[in-house]
Amino acid sequence: MLVAKAGDSVTTATVLVAFGAGAIGALLTASIAYSGRLLRVRREVQANERALRILDRHLETWVTDDTVRLRRQLAAITNSMVADPETGRERNLLWSSEHGVQIVRAKEVALQTYRDQERTAESQAADIRAREGRVHGLVRAWSRGALSPELRAPGNVAPILDYWAAPVTRHLSAPTDAPLPVDDPRARTLARTLADLKADPKALI
């Protein structure tokens, strides 16, 4: 028959306390490490957020600047329909289809250039988002939308681009004349291009 001694109880209690203290210490260490990780991730998210917002500002500034450029270009086209800009000789083409076509072409080039600018910005934004992982996503989710990984500029400038893409009417001489539509490059797709070529197979021949 085994008889428990007082010393054995003390030793057992000491071991249990040691195990408990070790577990608590491990939990505290893990908690501190996790808190430190969250702090680092939050700083990384904030740095990425600043980079994304810089891309937004660059794209918005580009649109505002190019709107000024486009307005001046269209005004120059219209003036050239009245008189030759080099010789000053009258042309009397203000109400001609040539006037409208040149305006349409200028707007289409501007829209295509914007589209390419936006794609460049989106590619750079994708590179920024690729730096982030699951924990970064949690930090963004906790921000309740304040920290968005998406660019905001495309949505902000869309109303301005709709003006760029508006049908052309300045060459029309009567209110009943049909405006010239602008082929908006933002709406072009591979399927639509193929359908257009099938409808007019000689277009590129």
Distance CA 80, CA 197 (A): 34
Question: Residues 115, 66: contact at Cβ < 8 Å?
Answer: no
pLDDT (0 to 100) of residue 100: 97
pLDDT (0 to 100) of residue 8: 53
Q: Residue 106's closest CA among 156, 166, 62?
A: 166
pLDDT (0 to 100) of residue 194: 96
Q: Residue 163's closest CA among 76, 96, 66, 81?
A: 66
Check: pTM over 0.95? Answer yes or no.
no
Name residues of the chain where pLDDT drops below 50.
2, 4, 13, 15-18, 21, 30
Which residues lie below 8 Å from residue 136, measured CB to CB, with a gap of 6+? 41, 44, 45, 48
